[in-house]
Structure 1
Amino acid sequence: MASELIEKYNVPGPRYTSYPTVPYWDEQLFTREKWKNSIKKSFKESNSSEGISLYIHLPFCESLCTFCGCNKRITKNHGVEDPYIKTVLREWEMYCELLEEKPVVKEIHLGGGTPTFFSPDNLKLLIDGIFKQAKIAAEPEMSFEGHPNNTNRDHLKVLASLGFKRVSYGVQDYNAAVQKAIHRIQPFENVKRATEQARETGFTSVGHDIIFGLPFQTKEHIIHTIERTKELKPDRIAFYSYAHVPWVKGNGQRGFNEKDLPTAAQKREQYETGKQMLRDAGYVEIGMDHFALKSDSLYKAVEDRTIHRNFMGYTNSKTQAMIGLGVSAISDSWYGFAQNVKRVEEYQNLVNNGMIPVYRGHILTEEDLVIRKHILNLMCKLKTSWYTRQEFFNGLPDVLVRLKEMRNDGLIEIDSNYLKITEKGRPFVRNICMAFDMRLQRNKPQTQLFSMTV
């Protein structure tokens, strides 16, 4: 039965870090002025009560990992650090001028690329520059993505002194053949060192990212990787499917052939094996693809019902406004989305000429806002309801029709006003969300836009 469900529901689908998803943004109606008005509105509503989040994209890497779908610039020239930081701080200054009063920063996440490509001194320069124009919340959530091969004790000490308490390390897989295929040679000893040094310097949450479905990967590789991971006992684990989208990312994901990838059934076996091992080791499954120890803040956020999902993935707490700084970064005002230009030179040119460097986005309609809440509920709480008029939208009867087969397959429990995803339905969260995705349903793509759901 499990293999039949995999075959049935293994279709291309979004990961729903936003709704509408990026391919369905209405870019024709989006303007820079509409975006500015959107972020000002959100800021006025929420700054004093909950503050804002910042995502800062640091795109540089010294080498290309062929599994990676991020926007990056490969270089060994560290002379790019200083001008890039100055541009990010100038972009932040423009937002602060737009917002009129000092923002309260509740959350900062440094992503990439490789944030630890930057020297510890330059990372300090960046964060100090952010807080010159902002207030820091009473209990901020500050985190970064670390590469175990180049995150050193100095990086960790400086970031800890600035208030960073969480780091996520990209582990992926410990098998040599897999590492060679994805161009990420990373011995266990490097991950062990980086994990231990993070704890020694004051980080209270250390996460590891593990990917299944990579080229040449087998169930035995997953078992080996998680056995080694258990030795280090990270506080949280992202255990997710490799997104094979070479038509989007070009040659970066063509370092291996399609035949080298596990089948959908093999990927599901890898996932089920890893999930059971993590549960046996004391990890609790959270939302989609995430696991945490009960002592970690992500688990506590589930208990407190404050867990949220945005372009950074799952996060401990919600802020209505999230500003993305840096090349390709995406911002979210709740009422709208905006993405910065993707080329470093264009980004720097726009900012240096006094322009907020967004090039596309979407202003949400009333229907979008309602559906967004339902998809967030499903992704974060595995349930949603429509008891009130505010939770209803005109397409809901059609959604319920699309969900009938999933109910018959035991993936969901549903009545006239309520939906809950079952344990059997957990692997198919993306498929269930797709039933609510009115923009996808009204305009189904003729070509493949998304990675496979299984």
Structure 2
Amino acid sequence: MHTHTTPSAALDRRALSDFRALAGRIDGNGPRYTSYPTADRFHGGLDESAYHAALADCRAAAPAPLSLYLHIPFCENICYYCGCNKVITRDHGRSAKYVSYLGREMALTAAHLGGRRQVLQSHWGGGTPTFLNPAEMRRVMASLHEHFDLPADGEHSIEIDPRRVDFERMALLAELGFNRVSLGVQDFDPEVQQAIHRIQPFEETRAVVDASRELGFRSVSLDLIYGLPHQTTARFNATVERVLTLRPDRLSVYSYAHLPHVFKPQRRIDENALPSAGEKLDILVSTIERLTAAGYVYIGMDHFALPDDDLAVAQREGRLQRNFQGYSTHAGYDQLGFGISAIGAVAGRYVQSARTLDDYYAALDAGRLPVMRGFTMASDDRLRREIIGALMCNGVLDIAQIEARHGIDFASTFAAELADLDRLGADGLVRREPGRIEVTMLGRLLVRRVAMVFDRYLREDAARPPAAQPAANDGAQPVRFVPRYSRVV
């Protein structure tokens, strides 16, 4: 019988070597599973009345705490690689209007919840949330505090463009109650920065990290992207070495997928300058080796954290989860989404807001919540979401617990899935033992491939004739089981 290897154990060279060999062979489309079902399954059949029902159920669950996501779409300039829902402008008249409407959306939502519900996890994403000027940021935060209770000991994070903040702005963020910051870096190589239209000197980034530490932020996270034009293994290694001198608490290392037919700004990227598939794989393997050697825990997918970071602790203790921001320690709460394209997960329903400013404003002007589409989960969806979450987050599935919680016989319910899982077991991705399924070290590097086995919608797609198959438009992309850079919303 195999002894259990904790998911936080260091990746060994054999696992990385096997990953290098397998990644080219085990190929296909794969969701990131920040939700299950994935966002490409959302549909327009879930309307405002369905969201009202979800909020009523959420109200009945009081005083359970909430999670909250705010989408600030504005950016001053375009980064060519970006796949986020954004508005390029320098006009603060546009952001001032948006701030007013955010307040209206919060008021409408809170009215359905009754009372000021506690929010233990909040995140501002974008776009560039720090596009908002200090007065606008204060207005948004005042609206949040008017309608919700954000305790100081919760997790309150914001995405930052280091080119757009100084010490004074960082001090404001601390004053407003943010205690975690996520900085976009991508790459420090000047030629790469030129090619993606994002000039960001190392010293500029270091100044923001230093300010974060001086001001007492609990966590500093840096985002890198590999697969960008002019990147090589040696060049990206140089960026990683500079990042390590900053010693961020967390690191996200995203894969760039070149999809110019989907994201128009990518048409400005020179395809001939992109690294080959082999070079891109070498960059990833080299980065994993270097970060784990430097003491970072490989959390999974694209996330790394220092051993004492909350993510690493949660994984060691078997309570890591996933939500629309990726890996999380507070993903089990209902999540409200505010702003264009924001996604919420409330009482077994997913809801996504209108994607354009015009549609968002029109809904709120009519006194309606700006619901564009969503999904109501069935019992089978909840069952599979739990299985996928356990495998992706903690690397172990306790079959007896699943059977008891959902009233099923696992072997008969998932006969086809277990047969597929055995094929992955032959490749060394999983181990099946009596009463449990365990993801191996190698499997953690290809964990989306393991999770996909339990995705009923992918199975249904595969069973249809090719002409009848739906086009995936969120989270599923032809890459070697490393995600494209996207905040999902």
Question: TM-score normalized by structure 2?
Answer: 0.88
C-alpha distance in 1 between matches for 2:180 and 2:282? 30
Structure-2 residue corresponding to 1:7: 24
Aligned with 2:156: secondary structure? strand
Q: Deviations over 1:369-389 (max 9, x none)?
A: 100111111221122232224
Structure-2 residue corresponding to 1:48: 63
Q: 1:137 aligns with which of 151, 155, 167?
A: 151
Counterpart mapping for 1:36-75 below 5 A: 36-45=52-61, 47-49=62-64, 51-75=65-89
Q: Classify 1:145/1:421 alpha carbon distance in 2 versus 1 (closer, same or farther; 3 Å).
A: same
Q: Deviations over 1:388-422 (max 9, x none)?
A: 24354775111111112210000111135321111
Unaligned runs of 5+ in 2: 1-17, 463-468, 483-489
Q: Give the CA deviation at 1:138.
A: 6.1
C-alpha distance in 2 between matches for 1:246 and 1:363? 32
Q: Give the CA deviation at 1:303.
A: 3.4
Q: 1:380 aligns with which of 365, 390, 393?
A: 393
Aligned with 2:222: secondary structure? strand
Q: Give the CA deviation at 1:2.
A: 4.4
Structure-2 residue corresponding to 1:414: 432
Q: Which amino acid aligns with 1:158?
A: L
Counterpart mapping for 1:102-181 below 5 A: 102-137=116-151, 139-181=153-195
Structure-1 residue corresponding to 2:360: 347
C-alpha distance in 1 between matches for 2:201 and 2:446? 33
Structure-2 residue corresponding to 1:440: 458
Q: Which amino acid aligns with 2:34?
A: T
Question: TM-score normalized by structure 1?
Answer: 0.94
Aligned with 2:229: secondary structure? coil
Aligned with 2:442: secondary structure? coil
C-alpha distance in 1 between matches for 2:208 and 2:378? 45
Q: Deviations over 1:51-72 (max 9, x none)?
A: 1011000000011111111100
Q: Give the CA deviation at 1:347.
A: 0.7
Structure-1 residue corresponding to 2:449: 431
C-alpha distance in 1 between matches for 2:301 and 2:192? 24
User: Which deviates more from structure 2 when the two are superposed, residues 291-300 or residues 321-330?
Assistant: 291-300
Is 1:314 aligned with 2:327? yes
Counterpart mapping for 1:273-312 below 5 A: 273-312=286-325
Structure-2 residue corresponding to 1:219: 233
Q: Classify 1:283/1:43 alpha carbon distance in 2 versus 1 (closer, same or farther; 3 Å).
A: farther
Q: 1:92 aligns with which of 95, 106, 110?
A: 106
Q: Is the 8 A contact 1:167 1:203 kept in 2?
A: yes
- Report how many aligned residue pairs link the two structures: 450
Q: Classify 1:374/1:334 alpha carbon distance in 2 versus 1 (closer, same or farther; 3 Å).
A: farther
User: Which deviates more from structure 2 when the two are superposed, residues 239-248 or residues 324-333?
Assistant: 239-248
Q: Give the CA deviation at 1:226.
A: 0.8
Structure-2 residue corresponding to 1:232: 246
Q: Classify 1:362/1:270 alpha carbon distance in 2 versus 1 (closer, same or farther; 3 Å).
A: same
Q: 1:205 aligns with which of 206, 219, 223?
A: 219
User: Which deviates more from structure 2 when the two are superposed, residues 96-105 or residues 30-39?
Assistant: 30-39
Q: Classify 1:34/1:258 alpha carbon distance in 2 versus 1 (closer, same or farther; 3 Å).
A: same
Q: Is the 8 A contact 1:383 1:421 kept in 2?
A: yes
Q: Classify 1:99/1:446 alpha carbon distance in 2 versus 1 (closer, same or farther; 3 Å).
A: closer
C-alpha distance in 2 between matches for 1:300 and 1:335? 28
Q: Percent identity?
A: 35
Q: Is the 8 A contact 1:287 1:382 kept in 2?
A: no
Q: Give the CA deviation at 1:366.
A: 0.7
Structure-1 residue corresponding to 2:5: none
C-alpha distance in 1 between matches for 2:21 and 2:316? 34
User: Which deviates more from structure 2 when the two are superposed, residues 443-452 or residues 65-74?
Assistant: 443-452
Q: Classify 1:263/1:420 alpha carbon distance in 2 versus 1 (closer, same or farther; 3 Å).
A: farther
Structure-2 residue corresponding to 1:193: 207
Q: Is the 8 A contact 1:9 1:428 kept in 2?
A: no
Q: Is the 8 A contact 1:174 1:221 kept in 2?
A: no
Q: Is the 8 A contact 1:322 1:331 kept in 2?
A: yes
Q: 1:78 aligns with which of 85, 92, 101?
A: 92
Q: Is the 8 A contact 2:66 2:121 kept in 1?
A: yes
Aligned with 1:436: secondary structure? coil
Q: Is the 8 A contact 2:319 2:394 kept in 1?
A: no
Aligned with 2:151: secondary structure? strand
* Cα RMSD after superposing both structures: 1.8
